[in-house]
Amino acid sequence: LFSAIDMAPRDPILGITEAFNADTNPAKINLGVGVYYDDNGKVPLLECVQKAEAKLMEQQSPRTYLPIEGLAQYDKAVQELVFGADSPVIQEKRAITVQALGGTGALKLGADFLKRFSPNSEVFISDPSWENHRALFESAGFVVNNYSYYDPATHGVNFEGMIASLKSMPAGSIVVLHACCHNPTGADLTQAQWGSVIDAVRSNNLVPFLDMAYQGFGSGLAEDGAVVKRFVEAGGPLLVSNSFSKSFSLYGERVGALSVVASSAEEAARLLSQLKRVVRTNYSNPPVHGGKVVATVLATPELRQLWEAELAQMRVRIKQMRDELVAKLKAKAPSHDFDFVREQVGMFSYSGLTKEQVGKLREESIYAVDTGRICVAALNSKNIDRVVDVIAKVL
């Protein structure tokens, strides 16, 4: 049985971390994986999380199973964060939210759910997209296609191409859209462009699936989440996956959620029952700790305020690193224009470095993705000069 099984390909991004970990050069720098590091190069343990954990330690509670759909306080708090507390879909009980194992788990729940009820639809993801999008939807049994998204010439969005792609999709197609902080390019739509995308999605009867893994890393929680409200206002079915891996720095706790908007409370109840079936047949019910931490922070005004401040700090530091990277590259490699890095948002930049150049960076123990994607959130005041020197050298 096992002797004929081939090696599976490595995850192109997580594989970089494996190579990085094996590198013995003390000056090594990992710009591969999408993880936020502070100025000391450490993954932060947020103060709001520590305070919530201290509070939870005081009220030691037994570790019973959570409900299939997760902790009720968590689902409620997440729903209010994603849609806005005053959203009509909450008031009309048309939204359902289930706790999920990170953003990845939320995407997989949504994919399995959609496959069951729309088996012949095809899925469209941006060109390029997070590598796991294709793999996840294919593993749920879908054919996965690309829609035009990135324009390497402008380092921005190929907006006309994207709209043309949306208009050519068969009705019922599932479109995966990055709500903010596009991974891997860092190129987001403007608010005006979102309006046209929403029109095209709705007039063509497509099924939008918003993936929001970086809320708060672009312009702010409300600004980054605005697109969810606009889709709600436009009416029609909607799926939203969200993740707290980055925004709470809780990567390993696997905290995320899937929300679905139905046309009525009665329909929502049916959808929830079916989503619970998907959960039950995959992992039965989610883990307790991360959900409790996030629910505690979101529902406790002082902790919530602290979280928003800590999230803003992360966002501002990334922007500073973008500015410094551009300024330092201008000094060291004046014939190359990197101004576009300042226009990009979120953790990543499609730097324009070629696969060969990325290979040369790696010879100097600086790790990036072959596509030229770098994680700006891994730059800091101590490593940026070496990164700039090596980039200038390979250019």
Smallest distance from the beta carbon of 254 to ligand PLP, in angstroms?
A: 7
| DSSP secondary structure letter of residue 44 | -
Contact partner at residue 290 from ligand PLP, ligand TYF, none, CB < 5 to 8 Å by partner kind: none
Closest C-alpha to 172, from 120, 216, 212, 105: 120
Q: Which is closer to ligand TYF, CB of 97 or CB of 183?
A: 183
What the block records as the tokens of 15 is 């594989």
Residue 14 interaction partner, one of ligand PLP, ligand TYF, none, beta carbon < 5-8 Å per kind: ligand TYF
Single out the segment in contact with ligand TYF by CB under 6 A; choices: 10-18, 48-56, 65-73, 234-242.
10-18
Stretch that binds ligand TYF, among 9-17, 144-152, 321-329, 337-345 (CB under 6 A): 9-17
CB of 97 to ligand PLP, least distance (A): 15
Task: Indicate the SS3 state at residue 21.
Answer: helix
Min dist. Cβ of residue 34 to ligand PLP (A): 5
Cis peptide before 184 (omega within 30 of 0): yes
Residue 264: exposure state from Cβ atoms within 10 A (0-12, 13-18, ≥19): exposed
Smallest gap from Cβ 252 to ligand PLP, in A, equals 10
| 130 is annotated as an active-site residue | yes
Q: Which of ligand PLP, ligand TYF, none has residue 211 at its interface (CB below 5 to 8 Å by kind)?
A: ligand PLP
Residue (13 or 177) nearer to ligand TYF, CB: 13
The stretches of the chain forming alpha helices (DSSP H) are 14-22, 47-58, 72-83, 88-91, 102-117, 131-139, 159-168, 191-203, 221-234, 265-282, 289-299, 301-332, 340-343, 355-363, 384-394
**CA 88/CA 232 separation, integer angstroms:** 9
Residue 15 or 236 having the CB closest to ligand TYF:
15
Q: Smallest distance, Å, CB 330 to ligand PLP?
A: 29
Q: How many Cβ atoms sit within 10 Å of the Cβ of residue 227? A: 24
**Bridge partners for 102 per DSSP:** none
Spatial CB neighbours of 159, under 8 Å, sequence gap ≥ 6: 189, 193, 196
From 108, 112, 115, 130, active-site residue? 130
Measured in whole angstroms, the distance separating CA 255 from the mean position of its chain's CA atoms is 12
Element (H, E) at 375: strand 373-375
Q: Which of 51, 108, 115, 246 is catalytic?
A: 246
Return the structure tokens found at 332.
């060291």
Single out the residue of 36, 113, 130, 248 in contact with ligand TYF (rule: CB under 6 A): 130
Q: Count Cβ atoms below 10 Å from residue 18 Cβ, excluding itself.
A: 11
**Which residue has 């590598």 as its token pair?**
131
Output the smallest distance, CB 269 to ligand PLP, in A: 27
Q: Which of ligand PLP, ligand TYF, none interacts with 13 (beta carbon under 5 to 8 A by kind)?
A: ligand TYF
3-state class (DSSP) for residue 148: strand
User: What is the smallest separation between the CB atom of 35 and ligand TYF, expressed in angstroms?
Assistant: 7
- Binding residues for ligand TYF, total number by CB under 6 A: 8
Please, what is the Cα angle at 317 between 133 and 151, to 5 degrees? 45
103 interacts with, out of ligand PLP, ligand TYF, none, CB within 5 to 8 A per kind: ligand PLP
For the CB of residue 15, give the shortest distance to ligand TYF in the complex, in Å: 9
Asked if 350 touches ligand TYF (CB under 6 A), the answer is no
Name which of residues 32 to 51 contact ligand TYF (CB under 6 A).
33-34
Please state, in angstroms and as integers, the Cα–Cα distance from residue 199 to each residue in 227, 232, 296, following that order: 13, 12, 37
- Of the candidate spans 6-14, 70-78, 226-234, 255-263, the one that interacts with ligand TYF by CB under 6 A turns out to be 6-14
Pick 52 or 181: Cβ nearer ligand TYF: 181
Query: Which is closer to ligand PLP, CB of 329 or CB of 369?
Result: 369
**Catalytic-role residue among 211, 224, 307, 328:** 211
Peptide bond into 128 cis (omega under 30): yes
Give the footprint of ligand PLP on this chain (CB under 6 A): 34, 102-104, 130, 178, 183, 211, 213, 243, 245, 256
Under 8 Å between Cβ of 303 and 128 = no
Return the number of the residue (11 or 122) whose C-beta is nearest ligand TYF.
11
The question of whether 246 is a catalytic residue gets the answer yes
Instruction: Report the interface residues with ligand TYF, using CB under 6 A.
Output: 11, 13-14, 33-34, 130, 132, 183
Query: Could you give the residue numbers annotated as active site?
Result: 130, 211, 246
